[in-house]
Amino acid sequence: MAAADVTRLLAHEMAAALRAGETTARELATAHLDLAERQNHALNAWLVIDREAALLQADAADATLTSARRAGTVALHALHPLHGIPVGLKDLISVEGGQCTAGSRILEGYRAPYDAHIVERLREAGAVFLGKTNMDEFAMGSSNEFSAYGPVSNPWDLDTVPGGSSGGSAAAVAAHHVPLSLGTDTGGSIRQPAALCGIVGMKPTYGRVSRYGIVAFASSLDQIGPFARDVRDAAALLHAIAGRDARDSTSAPIPVEAELLDLPADDDEAAAWLRGRRFGLPREYFVAGMDPDVERRIRESVAFLENAGATVDEVSLPHTDYGLATYYITAPAEASANLARYDGIRYGHSVRLDGADFIADYLATRGEGFGAEVKRRIMLGTYALSAGYYDAFYVKAQKVRTLIKRDFDEAFAAGFDALVAPTSPSVAFPFGSKTADPVSMYLSDACTLPVNMAGLPGISIPCGLSEGLPVGLQLIGPAWSELMLFRAARAFEALTAGAAWRGLEPAGIADADAASGPTPGERAARLAAGAALAPGAAR
């Protein structure tokens, strides 16, 4: 199999080729490493590409494959579907001996002393780690413009953002650098970049995947989940990482369904699952200012579901309008507590001022090490938790959070299998277009963050294009319904298998091959300069 071809295979196609002896894990890793190294100048999706470690892992996977072939068909097929498959890791996931910056200067130089639980699980499955992907600092952002190591470009249009905070992981999958990657979702940071990059992204139920070894942002909201270019691959990755971990007290003892590895390959069989299913369409998710083309794609998708035998009824989630305010009290409050540990003493960046006392060193370390968005959220959270404001803000936010969850509970109790909604109110937007207005940026997550507030699973799948850029359809289910959501997403994928947009590659990939072209940071600066010269001018 030609090396140039393997990067275009889906993960389950790579797995079949490995078992058939048509390729090797080393060939897969080398082809993906070559592509990632060639295009990272233009995309900045990767903070580390570790060729040496990846090839060692690939060789070990090949050795296991060789042994399994000698042992027979049963041994060969007993290997996990991710055996020998390249995977990208967001750079807040601990890998023993490797960097873990969380996109921040304050963790520059830090080396993780242990593996995260999900890394242990992926090692057991035989996956091959190509490196660490770029991200908004401490997962705080909706555009991947807040990384201390520069922004990430969207492979569909290099002048636009990939979404955030897991933008590097999403862009790497969309650009074929890896078939699979992992991100974290605190308020939409998997689903929103999946939508903007035209791929699949799943936020599991809170507690489905252990957070041990993950740099924390907001501990009651964070959850790890998969990116992939198709639903079956995303399900296989979740199967590998989910499950109880005694080191994380929030990790639930819920069995991991083997059926995650058995989603139907046949499109007719997959689509047949929809017959008789009932979906709710929340009216509050069609927010003010939504791109009209995005709304059209969502309503077209609803029509596809109905034509396949599903029923779609409008439903109200009345406390949705309070979700944004509730989130931006709860998440910054938790972040201000979690980020207090970065003091310049135990690990990471440290500033020592001549003749200064400990407090001056501490303030200088945090002032120099944290970026503007992180400082903004620490200040918001500290204020919300301060004496005199705790009851007025944080306690009230927790009460509203309960009401948001109750809205979902009542919808599912009314007989809806799942809810269907937009993932993002807009397609990918140009660099700099929202950074000067934090509230506008925060509104990018208006359709995703209620799911985190309620601790529920949600998945974003591609549903078409608007002006050449991807639109995402979001499916939301009750707690522990990941298998059902994957079946629903696979059914929609089957219904749209013949759509013209399904066969399109991201338009910016060809430009990304130009090694001498501008970096995302240079593109952002150029766009900012253009905006300064001509405010309000069309892009």
User: Identity (one letter) of the amino acid at 84?
Assistant: G
Looking at residue 206, its amino acid is Y
The Cα–Cα gap between 110 and 118 comes to 20
Closest CA to 164 of 182, 138, 190: 190
Q: How far apart (Å, rounded) are the C-alpha atoms in residues 393 and 414?
A: 32
Q: Which of 90, 132, 203, 434 is catalytic?
A: 90
Query: Is residue 440 annotated as part of the catalytic site, yes or no?
Result: no
Q: What is the 3-state secondary structure (H, E, C) of 65-108?
A: HHHHHHHCHHHHHHCCCCCCCEEEEECCECCCCCECCCCCHHHC
Distance CA 518, CA 125 (A): 38
Query: 42: burial class by Cβ within 10 Å (0-12, 13-18, 19+)?
Result: buried
> What three-state secondary structure class fits 196?
helix
SS3 at position 244:
coil
Whole-angstrom distance, CA of residue 336 vs CA of residue 382 = 6
Task: Determine how β-strand 469-476 pairs with β-strand 224-228.
Answer: unpaired
Sheet holding 418-422, edge to edge: 46-49, 128-133, 86-90, 180-184, 224-228, 200-203, 458-466, 469-476, 418-422, 278-282, 311-315
Which of 153, 189, 426, 444 is the catalytic position?
A: 189
Q: 104, 142, 165, 251: which is the annotated catalytic residue?
A: 165
Catalytic residues: 90, 165, 189
